[in-house]
Amino acid sequence: MPKTGDAYRKLKIDKLLNLQNSVLNAYNNEDDKSKINSNWLGDCINEFNGFEVIDGDKHSTLITYWIDHIIKTASYRENSRGGVGISYGRTRQYSNLKSFVESFQVEIDKTLHIADFDPKMAKKFRDYLLINEKIRPHTAKKKISDLKTVCREANLNDVQLAVGFEQIKFGKVKTYDEDMDVIFLDVEEIEKIQKLELKNDRLRNARKWLIALCYTGQRGIDLVGGKEGKKVYKCQFVKENFNYIDGKLALHIHQSKTNKKVTVPVLPPVAEMYANGLPRPISLQRLRDYFKDLGELAGIDTPTIGVKQEVTKKGKRGVKKERPKYMYFSTHTGRRSFCTNFYGELPTPYLIDITGHADETTLKMYINTATDDHLEEAHEAFARLTARKQKKSDLRVLKSV
């Protein structure tokens, strides 16, 4: 196996040989040999390297170049919230897109330029993602949508789009919604976990976090804290963020994803932690593992169809199949549980006040906002849930005499 230096030199030599062949082909195909001069040679080299000269400036036409451009300018690009800077997760999606494009180029034996991405090429790329890479249809559509964004970015810099580019359509792709596959804990399942006799202190601490997430509706990164890319988020489930509003205990959270400040009602299970001791800090990865352990110990193993990352021949992929329910538990399970359990129990505008979901602005166009009304409503909804659970458990089957 050649050393790194040898491999690099081989790549450089191969590139020079390919450039030589490209120039010779251009020379042989040039009818007017009087045009051949240093400028002609420069144009040949630019074309080989994926550049075209527009008004005296060189512009790359390579798709991979413009994907890199978006990644490099991520920190000061306009985001969907009207602010500056796209998220680490979004940047990773573009890096992932580049890997798929590079693999696709090898498959079709062609270096893709912006002008190559027409409806026919888009279909080829989608089919490659579905058949060769084994990715889900929704993800394939999203990759096509991202690639169109890349092409439009190049076009803003004077690079010509493909003929028929605007006809590339594979159905509308919505912004990624974390709650698409809803795996949640109902009130009875939460109670099973609460009643577990745990000797392991780490599991007892993890249980506190799970209960806190189930009854606050917040994202793990906001409540627990942790690292996402280069950014480190502090734990916000701390005493300093609690205070009383009109006699009701509330928790104040600044959501990192949406940059929203939300006021969360402190329901009885969370109030008990506030009084007797909040959970200790822990990494999100460890917490996910402990949540699965808690679910298994509580017997929450109903066969459930869902998507879970697995290592396949094509690398890590989301594989949808039937597994025990606890295997899907994550820090986001608490948020889903809160939204599902309180939907219909709590007025939707108040629910959105707590969770900070993206539909908040649209909903508030039709209502009068009362910033703290949801605190009282949430406590009443919790009381109704627990009362219904108690009533259900009091029912007994009478034997016939």
Is the separation of the CB atoms in 219 and 335 below 8 Å? yes
CA distance 166 to 148: 9
CA distance 130 to 117: 18
Q: Which residues contact 199 (CB under 8 A, 6 or more apart)?
A: none
Residue with tokens 């120039």, as numbered in its chain: 23
Looking at domain 187-394, its CATH superfamily turns out to be: Intergrase catalytic core (1.10.443.10)
CA distance 249 to 251: 7
User: What is each CA distance from 86 to 2, 184, 339, 355, 375, in whole angstroms?
Assistant: 39, 29, 26, 21, 33
The conformational region for residue 330 under phi > 0 = left, psi -120 to 50 = alpha, else beta, is beta
CA distance 393 to 377: 25
Instruction: Report the pLDDT averaged over residues 26-45.
Output: 75
Q: Which residues contact 17 (CB under 8 A, 6 or more apart)?
A: none
Instruction: Report the pLDDT averaged over residues 113-137.
Output: 89
Instruction: Report the pLDDT averaged over residues 49-54.
Output: 55
**Cα–chain center distance at 228:** 12
Compute φ and ψ for 2, nearest 5 degrees: -65, 150
Domain spans of the chain?
50-167, 187-394
Confidence of residue 322 (pLDDT cuts 50, 70, 90): confident
For position 377, what pLDDT does the model report? 74
Residue with tokens 């009130």, as numbered in its chain: 187
CA distance 345 to 180: 21
For position 52, what pLDDT does the model report? 55
CA distance 148 to 154: 10
Instruction: Report the pLDDT averaged over residues 305-332.
Output: 82
Res 8 pLDDT > 70 = no
CA distance 265 to 253: 11
Fold held by 50-167: DNA polymerase; domain 1 (1.10.150)
Nearest CA-CA partner of 160 in 70, 52, 315, 260: 52
Confidence of residue 349 (pLDDT cuts 50, 70, 90): confident
Q: Which residues contact 316 (CB under 8 A, 6 or more apart)?
A: 309, 310
User: What is each CA distance from 388 to 300, 378, 392, in whole angstroms?
Assistant: 21, 15, 6
pLDDT tens for each residue of 145-167: 999 999 999 999 888 899 999 99
Confidence of residue 25 (pLDDT cuts 50, 70, 90): confident
Residue type, 178: E
pLDDT tens for each residue of 277-292: 999 999 999 999 999 9
Range of weakest confidence among 104-108, 239-243, 352-356: 352-356
Res 257 pLDDT > 90 = no
